[in-house]
Amino acid sequence: MNMNGAEFVRRAKRYARNAGLEFRFDRSEGKGSHGRLYLGGKATFVKRSEIGRGLLAAMLKELGIGKEDF
């Protein structure tokens, strides 16, 4: 499953709302086209362009989210 950064942020926000977790996305904390996404007590960097399978899996792992839950 490939997606772009904006879609990842939307899905992470929905996941946080359903799980009762704090959500925050800060564009100013990343370099270039990246931003920092906070979910609960965990965080990851998100790029605006296409996110491939490997990077998606790594980002979900950093946030502690299973692929099937996302």
Q: Which residue's structure tokens are 């992470």?
A: 12
**Greatest Cα-to-Cα distance within the chain, rounded to the nearest angstrom:** 30
Pick from 17, 43, 62, 27: nearest CA to 35: 27
CATH fold of 3-65, please? Metal Transport, Frataxin; Chain A (3.30.920)
Q: What's the CA gap between 55 and 51, in Å, rounded?
A: 6
- Tokens representing 62 are 């950093």
DSSP category for residue 22: -
pLDDT digits (tens, 9 = 90+) for 9-60: 999 999 999 999 999 999 888 788 899 999 999 999 999 899 999 999 999 9
- Tokens representing 7 are 């879609």
User: With 90 as the cut, is the pLDDT of residue 64 above it?
Assistant: yes
pTM attached to this predicted model: 0.89
- Which pLDDT value is given to residue 28? 87
- Which pLDDT value is given to residue 26? 93
